[in-house]
């Protein structure tokens, strides 16, 4: 892993605001609507609350670890267990990028082509992904600073065209049965667990002052934007919402404004697609970081970026036309691994660091 720290808190906050949101805009609104109906936005809110607790755990680890995450893990769990853990994280990040990749491919196919294009049309994405991943965290973070404004403009366009169209009485009553909210939350967890990336990005932070406050504020913005989008989406489509996949290209097309100025919403969809490139490549970048740590590869090498992009390209090639089957399969069989890697392991790290730091302080007090 590269030990040069080149990520400031502002850039981390931009990543949280931008990339934690956009990956949930395409299939999630329709998918959760099919399960929770008008309570879909509450299910998404529940998952964001769980992720907020995870964010606090990850920030605690970043602020209290000594050295890099890999070095801290070795000092606590020894090298063999640390290597296994980091390889599990690498697999997790590869899987984390898979569904968003299929969503992006299908969105581009539906938006910009009259007939279904061949997979070769989408393959250049992996060349771009390889380049972004090879440049490392520093270049990635600087690019996301620009993507924040692109994301903001896209949100402004989609919301401005969509909000007047919705029937918000369809979201009533505000208090929904717990089982309806819970079922929607549990069955959409694949789109969540994002705060775990902070564990690895934390190795690059140049400062950690007010990290809790800044990360929390950024996360709240990300959560509010996503919850609003899901609520507006259901208010527009209501009983047919579960069939309206790829929300950015569907929810604004009924605006009266478009009859006068043309399909301005396509511009918003293009901007979302641009931001999604970085949302998808972030897990690939962190998978590379895990591989570099385990196999002692230097940052900037082409081996680990090549491995992750080729693996991801092969997955897309093999399962390119089965996005909903893949979501169901991963929900059924990948969920235990997802919960262990994204939620359980950070808690184990946090408890272990807390115990180690407490024991170290007591030893110093006794020595005095």
Is the pLDDT confidence value at 85 over 70?
A: yes
Interatomic CA distance for residues 197 and 201, integer angstroms: 6
Q: What percent of the chain has pLDDT over 90?
A: 56
Is the pLDDT confidence value at 130 over 70?
A: yes
Burial level of 346, CB count in 10 A (0-12/13-18/19+)?
buried
| pLDDT confidence tier of residue 118, bands split at 50, 70 and 90 | low
| pLDDT confidence tier of residue 306, bands split at 50, 70 and 90 | very high
pLDDT of amino acid 260: 64
pLDDT of amino acid 3: 43
| pLDDT confidence tier of residue 142, bands split at 50, 70 and 90 | very high
Mean pLDDT of 123-143: 91
Mean pLDDT of 281-310: 89
By the 8 A CB rule, do 234 and 170 touch? yes
Ramachandran class of 115: left when φ > 0, alpha when ψ lies in -120 to 50, beta otherwise: beta
Is the pLDDT confidence value at 121 over 90?
A: no
Phi first, then psi, for residue 205 (nearest 5°) are -65, 135
What does DSSP assign to residue 330? I
Query: Exposure string (b/e) for 209-246, b if CB count within 10 Å is 16 or more?
Result: eebeebbbebbebbbebbbbbbbbbbbbbbeebbebbb
CATH of domain 9-367: 1.20.1740.10
Mean pLDDT of 37-50: 95
By the 8 A CB rule, do 22 and 91 touch? no
Is the pLDDT confidence value at 2 over 50?
A: no
Where do the domains of the chain lie? Answer: 9-367
Phi first, then psi, for residue 23 (nearest 5°) are -70, -10
pLDDT of amino acid 1: 40
- Alpha-carbon distance values, 49 to 3, 33, 226, 236, 292 (Å): 32, 19, 13, 25, 32
Beta bridge partners of 205: 7
Locate 133 and state its tokens: 């991943």
pLDDT digits (tens, 9 = 90+) for 212-265: 999 999 999 999 999 999 999 999 999 888 888 888 888 877 766 655 666 677
What mean pLDDT value characterizes the chain? Answer: 87
pLDDT digits (tens, 9 = 90+) for 94-112: 999 988 888 888 887 777 7
């Amino acid at each position: 892993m590269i030990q040069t720290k080149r990520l400031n808190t502002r850039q981390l906050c931009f990543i949280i605001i931008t990339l934690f949101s956009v990956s949930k805009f395409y299939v999630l609104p329709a998918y959760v609507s099919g399960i929770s109906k008008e309570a879909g936005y509450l299910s998404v809110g529940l998952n964001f609350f769980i992720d907020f607790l995870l964010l606090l755990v990850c920030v605690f680890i970043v602020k209290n670890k000594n050295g890099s995450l890999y070095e801290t893990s070795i000092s606590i769990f020894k090298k063999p267990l640390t290597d296994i853990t980091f390889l599990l994280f690498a697999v997790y990040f590869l899987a984390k990028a898979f569904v968003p990749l299929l969503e992006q491919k299908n969105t581009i196919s539906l938006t910009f082509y009259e007939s279904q294009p061949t997979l070769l049309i989408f393959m250049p994405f992996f060349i771009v992904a390889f380049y972004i991943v090879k440049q490392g965290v520093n270049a990635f973070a600087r690019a996301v600073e620009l993507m924040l404004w692109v994301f903001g403009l896209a949100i402004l366009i989609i919301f401005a065209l969509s909000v007047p169209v919705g029937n918000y009485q369809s979201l009533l009553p505000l208090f929904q049965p717990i089982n309806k909210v819970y079922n929607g939350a549990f069955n959409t967890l694949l789109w969540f667990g994002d705060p775990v990336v902070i564990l690895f990005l934390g190795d690059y932070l140049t400062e950690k002052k007010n990290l809790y406050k800044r990360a929390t504020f950024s996360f709240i913005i990300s959560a509010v934007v996503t919850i609003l989008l899901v609520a507006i989406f259901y208010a527009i489509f209501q009983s047919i919402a579960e069939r309206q996949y790829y929300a950015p290209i569907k929810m604004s097309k009924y605006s009266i404004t478009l009859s006068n100025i043309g399909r301005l919403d396509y511009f918003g969809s293009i901007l979302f697609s641009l931001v999604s490139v970085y949302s998808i490549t972030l897990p690939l970048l962190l998978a590379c970081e895990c591989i570099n740590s385990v196999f002692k590869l230097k940052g900037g090498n082409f081996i680990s970026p090549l491995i992750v992009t080729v693996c991801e390209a092969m997955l897309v090639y093999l399962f390119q036309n089965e996005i909903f089957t893949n979501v169901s399969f991963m929900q059924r069989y990948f969920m235990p691994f997802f919960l262990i890697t994204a939620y359980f392991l950070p808690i184990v790290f946090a408890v272990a660091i807390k115990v180690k730091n407490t024991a170290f302080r007591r030893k110093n007090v006794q020595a005095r």
